[in-house]
Structure 1
């Protein structure tokens, strides 16, 4: 490590607080044990809803069919939904939420029964083969969150509201999401991750794992400058490079980097 890199590293670690010490949670997305049965496209969703015999059944059924996000759908600062849905026959939360009883959803049962041989023998199941496995953080799926995938050659963090991540997607919930998102997507934190923390997949990509992400020293800041810049980046699709350049420059200043150190990071990463 060169002298300038040692200086940058020391400043990041002196100013930042490890993400694990922030008021956040990091989890991975939902596991079905049989995607063929529980993940459907819009055509199948409409078919299931049309097979409901009453308006009450249709409304109840629609409520537990949630849009789902795969790892391949995630990109930097955004995602491209693949028109896929999760049949969320969850197993409930002990003491808080009753599990889904398939008898109350005959149209969904009719669909899932087509895959009975697969779902009946799977290990990832709840109280019945129709239920998804237990998930202690089930209510976190409905919260605003930062999402990312494990394998990527660059920082690819995005903000997501009501979509349910599949198990190939990590997600973070908590406060100050715009602030954290800007830091995670910045050139400076990318430099720190790849130089000081990152683990390689062996095929030229980084592994953005939970335990390494949690170690990132992220700077806390009292003003809203970074959050506002990130909000601008999320809403303005025509000036992406300008927005990201402003974010990178601000973050370097927040960590107290010199002009030479800022240029070293921004020009090389």
Structure 2
């Protein structure tokens, strides 16, 4: 699920079927949700979305469904898919902290798409660090 208006990508994984009754909150369903959570929250996707997305006029991004559909999402192997599922579950279970989770999934994403060190640095430094 995600909110339409946000300063950054803020996708969340909700596995128990709770409905969020709010006009600008959206739900996504499908088989690959843990992987999508990881890639949609990645710095690489944030950068790409900044190129295809729209803003509110004051700099806040509008994470509209039709523009999210424009994102390029690589198809991953079953081994990679399992990795993302395990990482999300470990994060939900509090087996890993936020920094470890973010670091491990982003490294895997960068490896999958073949980003150079320079491209990784650019994507990770495109937005200021969130506190």
2:87 corresponds to: 229
**1:138-163 C-alpha deviation (Å, 9 max, x unpaired):** xxxxxxxxx11110001111112221
Pair 1:236–1:155, CA change in 2 (3 A): same
1:163 matched to 2:18? The reply is yes
1:237 CA drift (Å):
7.4
Q: What secondary structure sits across from 2:107 in the alignment?
A: helix
1:182, 1:227 within 8 Å by CA — same for their partners in 2?
no
Question: Could you say which structure has the higher strand fraction?
Answer: 1
TM-score, scaled to structure 1: 0.43
2:90, 2:96 within 8 Å by CA — same for their partners in 1?
no
Question: Deviating runs (4+, > 6 A) in structure 1?
Answer: none
**1:103-153 C-alpha deviation (Å, 9 max, x unpaired):** xxxxxxxxxxxxxxxxxxxxxxxxxxxxxxxxxxxxxxxxxxxx1111000
1:187 corresponds to: 43
Structure 1's unaligned 5+ residue stretches are 1-146
Pair 1:230–1:238, CA change in 2 (3 A): closer
1:227 CA drift (Å):
2.5
C-alpha distance in 2, partners of 1:178/1:219? 14
1:203 to 49, 53, 58: 58
1:153, 1:205 within 8 Å by CA — same for their partners in 2?
yes
1:238 CA drift (Å):
6.2
1:149, 1:156 within 8 Å by CA — same for their partners in 2?
yes
1:233, 1:244 within 8 Å by CA — same for their partners in 2?
no
C-alpha distance in 2, partners of 1:163/1:181? 17
**1:158-213 C-alpha deviation (Å, 9 max, x unpaired):** 1122211223211111111101111111111111101x211110122100001001
Aligned-CA RMSD value: 1.6
TM-score, scaled to structure 2: 0.84
1:248, 1:266 within 8 Å by CA — same for their partners in 2?
no
C-alpha distance in 2, partners of 1:193/1:233? 25
2:44, 2:124 within 8 Å by CA — same for their partners in 1?
yes
How many residue pairs match? The answer is: 122
Within-5 A mapping of 1:36-185: 147-160=1-14, 161-166=16-21, 167-185=23-41
Name the larger-Rg structure. Answer: 1
C-alpha distance in 2, partners of 1:267/1:230? 24
